Structure 1
Amino acid sequence: MPTVSVIVPTYNRADSLPRTIDSVLAQTHDDLELVVVDDASTDDTRAVVERYDDDRVTYLAHATNRGGSAARNTGIWESDGDYVAFLDSDDEWHPEKLERQVRELESRSDDWVAAYCGVEMVRENGENPVLGWLRRQFGRLSETEGAEGGEELVADVLADDLHTSAGSTLLVERPVAERVDGFDESFDRFQDPEFLVRVLREGRLAYVDDPLVSRYASGNPSADELRDADEHYLRTFSDTVERLEAGGRDVRGAHAYFLAKCYLAEGRFRTGARYLRRARRPRPRQYPGLAASVVTGVGSAVGGR
């Protein structure tokens, strides 16, 4: 089986990092190297990594904080596996994740160059049981869940209809990762879908239909930060966005809906409502998320008094 280079960018996550590293070293596909790229952490990250007595583990450190995209690129350039896989330093893989993905790609023709898989969300502080039930029920209505294909999927990614959690699910052939020149280091947010769009222009994306990644909900950046990052994302693909909208795809409306939820969750209801007026009409599977944003925002507003 081909060697896989697993890239874990990290910054001040010494507490969650062992969970992530353990899940990589427990893979049934054990022909791998794990490259942990420390983006100038100020906690015990180095000591955590150095406790692992396993020659598959490599620790690299940036002298200054350069961001997640730069950390992933350092991992790409300093590794040499046939495939490159990415994992955020607060998430974990199920043991058969890499084996299933590598087997899937090896069984297909050469134009299939990357694979992702299902995810399960873990909310360490729990979730409102009613919202959780609604999320599970409506989530089944996603039209693009498990979508496979090539450049035709770019529209789904840009319109926020296909969520692959690429930062923790994606496995891609090394020549493709190198051909697209890695991650765009101008991105602090949305770097995963931005990278995926460029991968899709190089070849086809396969799906392994099982939740093989546990994603842990962590702190979110401010709505204003996300707004600025979202504008940069749309500008980067402005030509494609214009073409899609000319063909009837409401890309900007989808992004307005995303930002509306962010502002509502902060209790900034006036700004959230302004974005909602510009947003694409929510689909049934999105109702629980919208409700959760409003509930969270009410709590934020009350708590801030």
Structure 2
Amino acid sequence: MIKRYFITLLLVVGAGAVIFNYYETYSDSPWTRDGQVSAYIVSITPRVTGQVTEVYVDDNSRVEKGDLLFEIDPAIYSAAYHKAVATQGQAQALLSKARNNLQRTSELEKRMHGAVPTLTLNNLTNEVESAAANLDLAKANVEEAKLNLKYTKVYAPTDGYITNLNLRVGSQVVANAPVVALIDENSFWIEGYFKETDLVGVSPEDKAFVTLLMDHRMTLAGEIKSIGYGIAKSDGSTGNDLLPNVNPNFQWIRLAQRIPVKIKLTDIPEDLQLRVGMTASIQIVK
């Protein structure tokens, strides 16, 4: 009988020790399965409107900074540039004419004082100033037309991966409307969502270990880059009829909010290709 109680006591003590050890480990090393691979996504946006004449990339292809992605029909922008150059030439000629008239009249006034009315001299001076302003405007139009012509060729702003490409030759693109997504290959990080109760004592530069769902045998080392300072509240947002939207809850249950934590990987194997949205598990070591 005593032996049976002793064995039971040992089992209880053993279970308590395991639970306590698990609790200590979890407290010192918060862990979550709610993690994802993230990266900066650059929206490739043309600066001019027109028809696409050439596409130089394929969907899910890698590009380097400065690679030509696609071209827009430059005909209308080339014509606008030549027109602006011609207008600049006209403005230059008018300025030269205004200056010559002012110089000739001023010299006549110097030789024969009072031969030219003051109002005439003032008007000629104003004509020179106006012609100079028109020339500056013409130069600005030439610069703008030159830029628009240059913008008919769209280049990759960074190294990365083209994804979800639906652009085809003949497509009409609109200025300032995104058409292609480019994932910056140098910006990958792991985004983990930890319960607020798990972040006590956690600070940036703490070590972290990441396991991807695609290969649980591989553990990636990293460190905390930053901890989010806020999340959107679920209660109090405006609902129907401008009334606050409040979700029902149980008074005896208080659910811990989840705070986003960014993990920067310090060592990424060369044969591992990270992809945005991949699932990850994260363990923080304080």
Task: Using structure 2 for the length normalisation, give the TM-score.
Answer: 0.22
The structure with the greater share of residues assigned to helix is: 1
The structure with the greater share of residues assigned to strand is: 2
Which one has a bigger Cα radius of gyration? 2
Q: Which has the higher contact order (CA 8 A, sep 6+)?
A: 2
